[in-house]
Amino acid sequence: MHILHLKNDLYPNAVDNKTQAQSTSLLDTINGYRMISVKRDRLEYIYEQNKAQALRQAIPNPMGLLSAVQSGSTLKAAASILYMAVDAKSSYDAASSQADLQFLKDGWELDDQAADELHNSTKNALNYMYNMVRDYDLPGDYALNDESVEAFVSWTAKENLVSKISWLESNQKTYEQFGPYWLELVKDYYDAENYVQCLDSLNHYEKVSTRIFRKDLDYAQVLPMAIISARETMSEN
């Protein structure tokens, strides 16, 4: 869900105290993930700068190289240059290892923050679901668990239209009160040129949908499919 969609499109009359608290929690979660992403970008920049600084500091002093060459002794010059090269390599390795270690530690901290955000958002969503089902005396079957949501997302992403429709149809009992389920069937039946069932799925969506947002953009996206399906199956009247 885009943060602007959550901030601007919620229909105020559909927001009770619990939904208000949940939407505020979602905004905090989205912002938390956004800031983690910003911190990762900053961390990457600092890491690159530290590596570059380590390389600059490891490069031998040109004046030292010149003095070694001008010493008059080929053997001493070679030894001095070799020493400078080895010392530069050791200095770079030490500084580079320190930068790598700091980058790794800071990355772990951000990973921990992301894990905390995920845990809190999951916990809040679970409590919100329990509260809404209990307070409004809703059938427990209306509330989808994580496995059902993940399965739905996975199957809607598949490209095999026949197997996708077959799976959706066989799991209707699980998702029949879930609006996006019917919208997915609208699109899939339309792509399969099954226009009668396309319209039937849209009718089911209209029965189970509630006005949560000011504008139902998902519904609007499938209306052209419904219009074409109606043209293919109905009289002009």
pLDDT for position 207: 95
DSSP code per residue over 142-184: GS--HHHHHHHHHHHT-S-HHHHHHHHHHTHHHHTT-HHHHHH
d(CA 185, CA 195): 11
Mean pLDDT over all residues of the chain? 84
d(CA 54, CA 92): 6
- pLDDT of residue 64 exceeding 60: no
pLDDT category, 138, cuts 50, 70, 90? confident
What are the pLDDT digits (tens) for 143-197?
898 899 999 999 999 999 999 999 999 999 999 999 999 999 999 999 999 999 9
pLDDT for position 159: 94
- pLDDT of residue 82 exceeding 60: no
d(CA 230, CA 10): 31
Mean pLDDT across 93-98: 74
- pLDDT of residue 230 exceeding 80: yes
Q: Where are the domains of the chain?
A: 3-135, 145-233
- pLDDT of residue 91 exceeding 80: no
pLDDT for position 58: 57
- pLDDT of residue 69 exceeding 80: no
CATH top-level class of 145-233: mainly alpha
pLDDT for position 184: 97
pLDDT for position 61: 53
pLDDT for position 36: 95
pLDDT for position 153: 95
Higher confidence at residue 204 or residue 215?
Answer: 204
d(CA 37, CA 28): 14
Mean pLDDT across 49-71: 60
Higher confidence at residue 1 or residue 154?
Answer: 154
pLDDT for position 233: 95
pLDDT category, 51, cuts 50, 70, 90? confident
